[in-house]
Amino acid sequence: MILNYAAVQKSEELRWASPGTVPNGVITHSARLSMGLRVAAGGDPLDIATNHGVGLDEPMTSFWYVVDAIHKSKQLDINFPECHMEQQKLSEEFKRKSDIGICHCVGAIDGILIWVHKPTEADCEKMGFGPVKFFCGRKKKFGLNMQAVCDARKRFLWVDIRFPGSTSDFFAFEQSSLKKDLERDGFLYPGLCLFGDAAYVNAPFMCVPFRNVSEATDVPKDAFNFFQSQLRINIECAFGMLVHRFGILRKPFPMNVSITKTNSAVLALCKLHNFCIETNGNDDLIFSADQRDASNIMLDGGMVLPRIDAAGGHFWQYDEEDDRLNAFLDGGDHTDDHTPAARRRYYRHGVDLPYQQIHNYVRENHIRRPARSQRR
């Protein structure tokens, strides 16, 4: 993985090591960057320190220097586009990925659990939630609910990490600044919306699948669900690539790291994920995990990812079925959180929501989901 040194060099703090920790004096920018990225990959700080000939605290110190440098680099900022021309460009990229040419999607949205240790009393007080709220019962882990939107290339367009792990995706999105923006007249280009799963509700700015349908019970609705999922799944893939690329996310964040710093680190990794896609030339390729880092992740009780861990130093490609992060996804799918009234909130007589427009198109053209052997 390659990062432009300019982003790191913007942080003046990278110039010098802590007094007395490095016998040879200055720790170079490239060494700081190397150590920080190895920590992000899930490496053992002891192994990293030994390889670089530095004190044991320097790998984590370097990691935080790199996080700070990334946040100081404005060109790496993640902002949902407000320009209608940019939104149309995003929808065209999704349209090219749709087998039936769906042109409504401007971004795919979902939530993921960011694994942390049980928060301290200070963290709970600062966030305004008790420790139980951070425990996700579905995934049996303490964590944070990260909401995110990505484009067709799996680059993050928006990231929000404000709520504990037991929070539903519906509630976390309802409280977000993006949702308030999307409700404003003129924010989105007419006809465009986000594609989410059934944890959200249909709206002028959101398209979600029908619940409890199959090809045997309702062919048009089942077909709609298939083609809607074909675009929505990009966010699951983006999450998968993020966690596969940065092994530190495969295990709980270190106990001495506050929730605030955890949020900062995860956001920086999302920015770095976008940078990698922009510069690698192939959106889906990731360099395989270093065997030492993979072993360290497992020793720390982290999640085993067999395919990338066994890739053996070669570029590796994410597969949406084989590599799905079941341990972290769907923790916020509390569909009971949205009442029938919430699901009817945006219905207006004579005005079709995006999901209705797409469903009507599928039904009127007698479109069915393709047979498994024909799926690309």
Find the radius of gyration of the CA atoms of the chain: 22
- Look up tokens 């942080």; give the residue: 11
CA–CA separation, 86 and 83 (whole Å): 5
> Helix H segments across 149-212?
169-174, 177-183
What contacts 24+ positions apart, CB below 8 Å, involve 16-22? Answer: 17/54, 17/55, 17/58, 18/55, 18/57, 18/58, 18/61, 21/54, 21/55, 21/57, 21/58, 22/53, 22/54, 22/55, 22/58
158 SS3 class: strand
| Residue 345 identity | R
* Residue 149 tokens, joined: 């939107």
Residue 294 near residue 41, CB atoms below 8 Å: no
pLDDT in tens, the chain (376 residues): 445 544 444 443 444 444 444 556 788 989 999 999 999 999 999 999 999 999 999 999 999 999 999 999 999 999 999 999 999 999 999 999 999 999 999 999 999 999 999 999 999 998 999 999 999 999 999 999 999 999 999 999 999 999 999 999 999 999 999 999 999 999 999 999 999 999 999 999 999 999 999 988 999 999 999 999 999 999 999 999 999 999 999 999 988 899 999 999 999 999 999 999 998 877 777 877 788 888 888 888 899 888 887 766 667 788 888 889 988 998 877 766 777 777 777 777 567 899 999 999 999 999 999 987 565 5
Handedness of CA 188, 190, 195, 199 (dihedral sign): positive
Residue 308 near residue 285, CB atoms below 8 Å: no
Q: Is the pTM of this model over 0.85?
A: yes
| Residue 333 identity | D
Residue 248 near residue 289, CB atoms below 8 Å: no
